[in-house]
Chain A
C-alpha cells in the first residue's frame, strides 16, 4: 500500500520556484528520508503534503486522500513534528496534550489514557505538570512528538527532529522514531544529518534546488560510490590552495575544506603523487593522509555535487 503518492508536484512562492515537478511514493510503514540543503524545497514539499499550503501544480495523496480536495481527511491521519517546538509555553505538558487531543477529536473517554500512555512512553510522567516553556530542549522535542501522536496517526512527518539536541537526547529520539516504525507508522523525515538519515531510513530522496535527483535505499546510495576510495589529506596552511590549483589533479571529485582536501579517486597512487607535487610547488605541508571507504555523506557529495560542509554549515547555523 502507498502512504504518500506525489506526482509532478510543483510549488512556487511568488517568482521563486521552490519545488520543481517532483514525483515519489512512500510505502506504508516505511521510514522515508528527505535530504537536502537549506532552500532545496524540503519545507515547501512538507507544507504541501500536510495541507499548510496549496501546490502550484501536480498532485499529492496522503493516506489515500488528495491534499487539495480533502485536506481535513489528510490532517486526521497525519502527525507533524515541526522543527520549532511549537507547543504552548504557558500550559503544562499535560494540558498541551489535552488541548491537542481536543483539536484532533480524540474521544473524551480515551483522552486521559491516551495522554498518560504517551507520557509514559516518552518518559515525561515526571514533567506532566510542568509548563512546556520550562522544559529542556530534549524534553520539549519529546513532548512535541507526543503531541503529534496523541490521535494515533498513520503517517508522521518529522522535520529536523534532532536539530539542536545534545548527543544523548538525539540518540533517545532516534530510538523512539525506530520504535514508531516498528509499530507500522509511516515516517517522512527531513534532516540535514546525513548519517542520521542513513541509520533511520529505509529509503532516501535527495532533493537539490527543488528537484529530486535520487531516491534509493541508503545501502544502494552508498554502493554507488563504494568502489571509489576517498583520499583525505590534511594540509597546512589550507589557504594557499584554491579550487583552481586542484583542477589538474586526477580525481573524480575534489573537495577543498577548512582541514584539507578530499578526493574520490580510483587511482590513489597517481592522485597522491600529483597532489604531493602541487603541495611542494605551493609550499603546503602534508600533515596526514587517509584512504577511507566512502559513506553515505560521500554518496551525497557525489550525487548532488554539493560539499558536505555546505550541509554542515547550514545545520550549525540552524541549531
Chain B
C-alpha cells in the first residue's frame, strides 16, 4: 500500500463528493433548518433558556447534516453503480470509506459553523475556549459522519438509511443533554445517554462555550474513540458486503 496514492484517492473522493452532492442549497438548508425549528419550538415554551441550547443546537446541526448526507450519498452511489467505480479503483476500502466520511465531515463542519455564527449573533452565545471548541466540533462531525456511513453501508436504499438513522437520531436529541440535563434523568436513561456519542459532543461544546464543569479533554478523547470505532465498523461492513 502506497500511502501517498491512498491519500490522493481519499482527497479525490472528498473533492468529488463535495462538488457533486454536498454544496447544493437544499442540502445546506436542511442541515440548519431542522435544528432551528426544533429550538424555536422549545424556546416558545421556555424563552429564557435559549442560550443554554446553543451548544446542543450546534451538535444537532452536525448530527443531522452529516448523517443525512452520508445516508444519501452512499446509498445513492450504491444504487447507480457509482460506488462500484470506487471499489474498482486501486485504493483500499479504508480509503473509500475515509473519503466518504471526510466529505461528510467537511459538510458537517461548515453547516455547524454557520449555526455557530447564528447562535453567537442572535443568542449572544460566546466561545470561551476556541481551540478546544474547534477540536470538539471537528470530532463531533467526524464521529457522526462515520455513524452515517455505517448506517448507509448496511442498507440498500436511501429511505432505508434515513429510517434507520432516525432510530438513532431522535432518541439522541432527547437523551444526550440538549434539552434536558443528564442529571435530571433517571439512572437507566443516564447510562443509555453515556453510550451515545452526541452526549460527549454536547458536553464538550457546552464546556467550551458556557464553561460547564465537563471534562473537555476526556469528552473529546471519547469522541475520537467513537470516530475510530464507527469508521472501523463501516469498513468491516463494507468489506463483508462484497463477499
A75 touches B89 (CB 8 A): yes
Rounded to whole angstroms, the CA-CA distance of A99 and B19 in the bound complex is 11
The yes or no answer to B243 lying at the interface (CB within 8 A) is yes
Given contacts A54-B243, A90-B21, contact A99 B16 (CB under 8 A): yes
Given contacts A53-B242, A82-B81, contact A105 B16 (CB under 8 A): no
The yes or no answer to A312 lying at the interface (CB within 8 A) is no
What mask results when residues 89 to 109 of chain B are scored 1 for a CB within 8 Å of chain A, else 0? Answer: 111100000000000000000
Interface size for B (C-beta < 8 A) is 27
The yes or no answer to A88 lying at the interface (CB within 8 A) is yes
Rounded to whole angstroms, the CA-CA distance of A16 and B46 in the bound complex is 60
Residues of B contacting A122 in the complex (Cβ-Cβ under 8 angstroms):
none
Residues of B contacting A86 in the complex (Cβ-Cβ under 8 angstroms):
80-82, 84-85
Q: Which of A50, A90, A103 sits near B12, CB closer than 8 Å? A: A103
The yes or no answer to B9 lying at the interface (CB within 8 A) is yes
Given contacts A82-B84, A86-B80, contact A105 B20 (CB under 8 A): no
What mask results when residues 91 to 118 of chain A are scored 1 for a CB within 8 Å of chain B, else 0? Answer: 1000100011011110000000000000
Closest B residue to A80 by beta carbon equals B88
Q: Give chain B's interface secondary structure class.
A: helix
Interface centre among B8, B84, B89, B92, by most chain A C-beta atoms within 10 angstroms, is B89
Residues of A contacting B166 in the complex (Cβ-Cβ under 8 angstroms):
none
Residues of B contacting A91 in the complex (Cβ-Cβ under 8 angstroms):
16, 19-20
Interface size for A (C-beta < 8 A) is 25
Residues of A contacting B92 in the complex (Cβ-Cβ under 8 angstroms):
72
A75 touches B90 (CB 8 A): yes
The yes or no answer to A289 lying at the interface (CB within 8 A) is no
The yes or no answer to A84 lying at the interface (CB within 8 A) is yes
Number of A-B contacts (CB under 8 A): 67
Rounded to whole angstroms, the CA-CA distance of A86 and B86 in the bound complex is 10
What mask results when residues 166 to 198 of chain A are scored 1 for a CB within 8 Å of chain B, else 0? Answer: 000000000000000000000000000000000
Q: Which of A53, A84, A100, A105 sits near B8, CB closer than 8 Å? A: A105
The yes or no answer to B129 lying at the interface (CB within 8 A) is no
Q: How far is the CB of B75 from chain A (nearest CB, A)?
A: 15
Rounded to whole angstroms, the CA-CA distance of A89 and B82 in the bound complex is 10
Residues of A contacting B1 in the complex (Cβ-Cβ under 8 angstroms):
72
A88 touches B20 (CB 8 A): yes
Rounded to whole angstroms, the CA-CA distance of A179 and B21 in the bound complex is 36
Residues of A contacting B84 in the complex (Cβ-Cβ under 8 angstroms):
52, 82, 86
A52 touches B16 (CB 8 A): no
Rounded to whole angstroms, the CA-CA distance of A75 and B84 in the bound complex is 12
A104 touches B19 (CB 8 A): no
Residues of A contacting B21 in the complex (Cβ-Cβ under 8 angstroms):
90
The yes or no answer to A266 lying at the interface (CB within 8 A) is no
A76 touches B80 (CB 8 A): no
Given contacts A88-B20, A99-B16, contact A104 B242 (CB under 8 A): no
Q: Which 9 A-B pairs have the closest CB atoms?
A: A102-B12, A86-B81, A103-B89, A75-B90, A90-B20, A84-B81, A76-B90, A105-B5, A72-B90
16 contacts between A and B (CB under 8 A): A50-B88, A52-B84, A52-B87, A72-B92, A82-B81, A84-B80, A84-B81, A88-B16, A90-B19, A91-B20, A100-B85, A100-B89, A103-B9, A103-B12, A103-B86, A105-B8
